[in-house]
Chain A
Amino acid sequence: MRRIKVTVDGKTHEHEVEPRLLLIHYLREVLGIGGAHSGCDTSNCGACTILMNGESVKSCTVLAVQADGEDIMTVQGLAKNGEWHPVQTAFHEAHGLQCGYCTPGMIMATISLLKEKPNPSEEEIREGLEGNLCRCTGYENIVKAVKQAAGSPVS
């Protein structure tokens, strides 16, 4: 067992964990953050995407011990004072989801993308979300949502 200290959604947690515990399982099963989804479990689908020190990362392919001392943000930490994050609002208004399973990962990947490229072209959006799969194939509205969000301040 190894002691880790991780900041998740602005709150610092300390736990003894097995080295083989994956970050996605730490978030979901230890901290109870169900908003971080586990999809393919093979680092393909991107449903488990979270921000690690502000950058998108697939939490099924990170050990919890690798997150020791780091700053993690999940979809559940985005809203501030009851107000959605602009990317959440854009996905809602542009109907950038169907079943919603991929949505937390899509939103976190979008926030990371817009930090690197605040005004992405459609091609850059599609390439920037290459690591996130939507099995409903709702990509058209997801791209629209990202375009709409690109006009908003993203923090």
Chain B
Amino acid sequence: MIRADIQTTVGSFDLKVDLAVDREITVLYGHSGAGKTLTLEAIAGLLTPREGRITLHDRVVFDSSAGVNVPPQRRDLGYLVQSYALFPHLTVAQNIAYGLGHVRRAERRDCVERFARMFGVDDLLHRRPARISGGQAQRVALARALAREPRVLLLDEPFAAVDSSNRRTMRRELRQLAQRLDLSVVMVTHDLTEAYNVGDRLAVIDRGRVLQAGPRDEVFHRPATARAAELLGVQNILPGRVVGADRDRVHVATGLGMIEAQAESRPATDHVQLAVRAEQIILERPDRPSTHRENRFQITIVDEAAFGFSHTLVVQVDDAASGAPTLEIDVPAHPYQVLNVPAHRDWRIHIPPEAVRVIAG
């Protein structure tokens, strides 16, 4: 269990973060400049926060009120910095051996070989970092960080310098590795796909604050604030006003008309934001009767962008109030073809109530 509850100011940037990480992979997700790297540096001991407390597996490594500040070399963690920072004057073998100064010479060689084999870089041992690829450098840096067998691994954009074709494999390997070595991993990324694919838990960070943290699916499907929803790639965020609630439904008046949302209870305030992912809106044939009673809208397609495997439609709700926002809808390539979407501009959509997330305030 890692717990970092810290506050500090770097230049004009204000960082105030409270983060808890268990034996699993926690992804710190946010745009660049959100404070992700600063948070990692504080955990690693490379940045001393103004105040707060950091514990690594019940060991207090920083506590401003008790005057505790364990230097980085004694925090016993692995830190993979962005673009890896391999020592350019040392060979791959020497890089991996760097943190093993306390180990006997013969053991050290075994250890270097074992970790080099584990990461598939055992045929590069005598090369200099300038003569290996980005993906190989990442593996060497991981081997170097893990050869000391830390319990905590910090990763800063670990896949940024890796070819996209290799990323998927490496993500899977990282997950297996974390399990096998019983590591608590904190990974920083600005890539939402990566955050989703690697993380067990997700912490959304923005302008030096953690907006939301929790199990991945919980955070991904139930953003707590409009800003978190926006960062998590929710394309449709509509302001609205709660006008009624019954059983598990909340009725919200929006610029597009009434929208029903599934919710356990009526939100704390009547002014709400509705967040709907583009891929959860269903495009229906206008010539067939709808089977749905609620959240049905006649729409006109006003713009379209294709991404190979899916099409994003920008649509205008026909009966919307003036100035109401357009919606984005993702239609996978197959239904797009079957429905022959380009042939018509006028369609009907259905927004399933369970796809509508009500955000208070």
Question: Do A and B assemble together?
Answer: no
Q: Give me the interface of B with A, judged by CB distance under 8 Å.
A: none
Binding site for B on A (CB under 8 A): none
